Amino acid sequence: MRKPRLKAGLNWLVWANLSAALAFAPLALAEESVTALLRQQTDAFSDASDRGDQAGMDALLDDDVLFSGGSGRVDRDPQRDKNDETSQLLRRQTQSFREAGQRRDVLAMRRYLDDQLMFIDEDGNVSSQLNFRAGAPATPPEPGSSMLTLSDWVMHHSGDVAVASYTEHQTVRYGDHILSYQFLSVDSWVKRLSGWKLIGSQTIPLNEDPPPQKLQQLRDYAGDYGAGQWLRVTISLDGNALTLTTHGGIAAVLVPVARDEFIVRGTAPGYVRAPIIFQRDAQGRVSGYVSRDVFLSRLEAATRDTSAPAQNPPSTLTLKEFVVHQAGDIAVATILHERTTDYGGVLMHKSYRSIETWIKRADGWKLIASQGRELLADPPSMSLSPNQLEAYSGTYSAGRALRVRISRTADALAASINKGQPVRLVPEAPDVFFIPNSPRISVIFQRDSAGRITSYLSRRDGRDLIFSRG
């Protein structure tokens, strides 16, 4: 049976090189043998991927593998897809499990959990069977309600192990307001005496590009930017749109989110939308921008150098966690790792959360399911004066059932929903705020032609809920 052809270099999200972490032999020797073996095999898979060695990767993949590198799609051999009684049963159980999560019925959900469970929600939080408290996707805050349906169901199984992938469609209602979200889940099931139990699961959000905001003076952002010895970026005005190129490469279109904040258009739905936040000097001129944790300064004509570096930027990966739950011939592992890329003395950091399911076959342990995703960190904050912050204060509502009171604090805002516990809002760009430790959510204030604040958008995964002022 043919295995899915995983393109070398595209699966960096899950299979980054772990050789640095494995260099400490005493630590590996102290680990449980299966954990050490699976770490070694993960490293071997990564090395084969870096070298474009398809045969080396195939040697570690099970015939029934479902592999998601975080883009929002799943690599597999369609000839292994099953639509038999087991597939239909587990689809019903999955639907029941996810619906119980929307009702916050944890007792009903626990009936489906294996003792060795590893469960990762859409924010990257890991639960075991002992501390399992909620499902994924998360239910909306009161007074919202939600419903869930499944599509794109795929199941592979052999013996007492089954793996499934599917898209979850969550419909959230706040009074007359309806929002639709999508998520991709990859699950692993094991057959016990009491029936099929969920032993591994990860859910990732599927993003949409938000509607672009209309901005004047786009030309203000055009220019050359740089950081370190050779990281050079050109931002150009192409008609009514801005484009970004790195060292003369393929141009990416920038979508304006608000004044001074953009995202890259057309990013795969599973990948995060990291904001590009422009900064200004005391005279209001654009002086540079921040992308993740790297600041690129605007370059004068005399300092421009868009030549490409001699080689790809070096990167290292630090393994923070590698946890394995084993149950006989099946093992589930979670990984948290950070990649640091050196752009000529400028370091960019990215964090990733992955889950793997391994099955023991006659010829060794094989990877049968995997899903990974990048974890987006909080954006850098900016400072606003007390008067600027005070301008956002007031009461906002999304229908009669959902009212938010926003007030100024010393350096940020506090938002209270229906007189509940206040949530801190931190400015990241003019009229754009974020909630600490909730990078999937942005609060974007809207103004009329006279510059008065009239409403705000509560944006999550590219979907907006509008709150009107007054």
Token pair for residue 379?
A: 């954006």
Domain boundaries in the chain?
A: 1-208+313-377, 378-470
**Gap between the Cα atoms of 153 and 163, Å rounded:** 11
3-state secondary structure of 49: helix
Under a CB-based contact definition with an 8 Å cutoff, are residues 406 and 419 in contact?
no
Question: How open is the CA angle 59-15-349, to the nearest 5 degrees?
Answer: 170
In degrees rounded to 5, what are phi and psi of residue 28? -65, -40
Q: Which of 188-223 are b and which e, b meaning 16 or more Cβ less than 10 Å from the residue's Cβ? A: bbbeeeeebbbbbbbbbbbbeebebbebeebeebeb
3-state secondary structure of 89: helix
Burial of residue 24 (CB within 10 Å: 0-12, 13-18, 19+) is: exposed
Query: How do beta strands 61-68 and 364-375 pair?
Result: parallel
Under a CB-based contact definition with an 8 Å cutoff, are residues 428 and 435 in contact?
no
* Residue 230: predicted pLDDT: 82
Under a CB-based contact definition with an 8 Å cutoff, are residues 337 and 355 in contact?
no
**Gap between the Cα atoms of 169 and 180, Å rounded:** 7
**Gap between the Cα atoms of 264 and 273, Å rounded:** 7
| Topology of the domain covering 1-208+313-377 | Nuclear Transport Factor 2; Chain: A, (3.10.450)
Handedness of CA 4, 8, 12, 15 (dihedral sign): positive
**Block means of pLDDT (10 residues each) for the chain, length 470 residues?**
54 36 38 84 77 88 95 96 97 98 96 97 96 94 89 96 98 91 98 97 96 88 91 91 89 92 94 93 94 92 54 76 92 91 87 95 96 92 94 94 94 94 95 94 94 96 94
Under a CB-based contact definition with an 8 Å cutoff, are residues 119 and 126 in contact?
yes
Please report, for residues 61, 107, 150, the alpha-carbon distance to residue 75 in angstroms, rounded to integers and kept in the order given.
12, 33, 19
Strand residues in 328-460 grouped as ranges (E): 330-343, 346-361, 364-375, 394-397, 403-408, 413-417, 423-429, 432-435, 438-447, 453-460
Q: At 253, which helix (H) or strand (E)?
A: strand 252-258
- What pTM did the predictor assign? 0.89
**Gap between the Cα atoms of 448 and 433, Å rounded:** 19
3-state secondary structure of 57: helix
- Start-to-end CA distance of the chain, whole Å, equals 63
| Topology of the domain covering 378-470 | Lipocalin (2.40.128)
Cα–chain center distance at 168: 16
3-state secondary structure 375-408: ECCCCCCCCCCHHHHHCCCEEEECCCCCEEEEEE
Under a CB-based contact definition with an 8 Å cutoff, are residues 197 and 221 in contact?
no
* Residue 141: predicted pLDDT: 82
Burial of residue 314 (CB within 10 Å: 0-12, 13-18, 19+) is: exposed
Amino acid found at 412: A
* Residue 341: predicted pLDDT: 87
3-state secondary structure of 226: strand
Q: How many residues does the chain have?
A: 470
Q: Which residues pair with 13 in a beta bridge?
A: none
Query: How do beta strands 432-435 and 423-429 pair?
Result: antiparallel
Question: How open is the CA angle 273-274-275, to the nearest 5 degrees?
Answer: 110
